Amino acid sequence: MLDPDWVGQWQETMQAADSTFLEGVNKMFQQAVAILDLPPVLAEQIRECNSVYEVRFPAPTSKGWRVFRGWRATHSEHALPAKGGIRYAPDVHQDEVEALAALMTYKCALVDVPFGGAKGGLRIDPREYTEDDLKAITVRFARELIKKDYIHPALNVPAPDMGTGPREMAWIVEAYRQVHPEDIDAAACVTGKPVELGGVDGRTEATGRGVQYALQEFFRHPEDVRDARLEGTLAGKRVVLQGLGNVGYHAGKFLEEEDGAVITAIIERDGALHSAKGLHVEDVREHLRETGRVQGFPGAEYVSDGRALLELDCDILVPAAMEGQITSENAGRIRARLIAEAANGPVTYEAHQILRAAGVMMLPDMYVNAGGVTVSYFEWTRNLAHMRHGRMQRKMMQSRMDAAIDVLRAVSKGELAPSLEARLRHDVDELALVRSGLEDTMLEAYQRIRDIWRSRDDVPCLRTAAFVSAVSRIADYYRRFAL
């Protein structure tokens, strides 16, 4: 923990409150620009949001007709389609959508996914409406975006985000097909769809699985682990998890069940649970599903001020909820050794400076939560190919494994461990291919940002390295291809 006097001095020197989400993204971008020494015009071209479409539309609900307000921001079209989710939240606003779109541009460049960045938002609390209401609202919103090409398989492809999921994506595909019945690639107008409508196995878990792969890769580097004042592997590490939505649930579940991490606290809207012995994510999720809150979960301490548990002593803090959760106000009290940003922008720019000065290691959001857009890329290419991944190779791969088993049996005089044979015979289905591709993507991306961080004296942290890597790739594109 930082010295309180130092934190106080830092806060006194601040001219205003913490930077907004968009301001923070742009400040990190400017640091990367300075390191790369980009020409001002090129830097401005990359930084500026290409377009923002705001729409207000009426839709019927069970409570009568209502007027809704939404946005779709396209930050960059240096690669097409532009890619980014649509979130439903009561407090979403244009600056937030622009910040998320910019982050998507850099995120796609970082993990080598050939998309530009976009994002959408609808100002609505989904919990206040019935399923029929939400379908009518979603279809109406989608039609507004479709007629301006802000939803299109080749130009702008949404995905689920906070408050949306496969159900909403299915409604959007339906709306797109009604407007463009001639488009044989209609299924590719969104990703994150139900599998039976062209989605891929593993998309729902993808962002949380990516968080797991990011942490696994970090712990493969003993030097990095030591710099975070940690040692060993993920096994036994104390994890505080904020948010038990789709991302937090899958990340926590995989870290607990597959890596042996101990989830000591789970923070949700109505408060938080704490247990030094560990919480079973699946049990907490079931309790939350049944009751709508974490309060009342047996065998754990309930804390009404859930955000206070961000300051709990732990090895790894995984903020998987909203942006701006760690600010200059509470950053000096954070006791985690490592922060893995599963949410977008959970640490403000000012908090980042405080935490870095305190020696807290941070795995940046644009890397940690890139699993979603990576698997969305797999889904999009599947839709364009009109063929599931592995269909042409599956039988051939099985035949090769059978041949390998025969060779091993011959060499071992007929004796082959059952566990080894089971691993070799494991069916290489689409889910296995998706997970393999995602793991490889996360590994390569970490290697890139780590190499920049370790090799350059002017790159002080992994977040800066991630921005340098992403911005450098985009700048190279503009230098070579832009008119």
Residue in 135, 250, 118, 130 with CA at minimum distance from that of residue 191: 118
Distance CA 171, CA 175 (A): 6
119 is catalytic: yes
Measured in residues, the chain has a length of 483
Listing DSSP states for 29-83 in one string gives HHHHHHHHT--HHHHHHHHS--EEEEEEEEEEETTEEEEEEEEEEE---SSSSEE
Do the strands 262-268 and 271-274 form a parallel or antiparallel pair, or are they unpaired? antiparallel
Q: Which amino acid is at 8?
A: G
Look at the alpha carbons of 376, 382, 384, 386 in this order and tell me if their dihedral is positive or negative. negative
83, 119, 193, 237: the catalytic one is 119
Answer yes or no: are the C-beta atoms of 126 and 134 closer than 8 Å. yes
- The answer to whether residues 23 and 47 touch, using CB atoms and an 8 Å cutoff, is no
Distance in angstroms (rounded) separating the CA atoms of residues 84 and 121 = 10
Q: Taking Cα atoms as reference points, which of 362, 359, 358, 327 lies closest to residue 341?
A: 362
CB 374 within 8 A of CB 111: yes
* Cβ burial, residue 13 (10 Å; 0-12/13-18/19+): exposed
- Tell me: cis bond preceding 81? Omega within 30 of 0 counts: yes
φ/ψ bin of 103: left (φ > 0), alpha (ψ from -120 to 50), beta (otherwise): alpha
> Other CB atoms closer than 10 Å to residue 296's CB: what's the count?
12
Q: Where are the alpha helices (DSSP H) in 219-271?
A: 222-227, 246-259
CA angle, 39 then 350 then 21, to 5°: 70
CB-CB contact of 460 with 356 (8 Å): yes
Three-state DSSP class for 163?
coil
In sequence order, what are the residues at sequence separation of 6 or more whose Cβ sits closer than 8 angstroms to the Cβ of residue 240?
Answer: 263, 264, 265, 267, 309, 310, 312, 314, 316, 317, 318, 336
Per DSSP, which regions of 226-331 are E strands?
238-242, 262-268, 271-274, 301-303, 316-319
Q: Which residues are catalytic?
A: 119
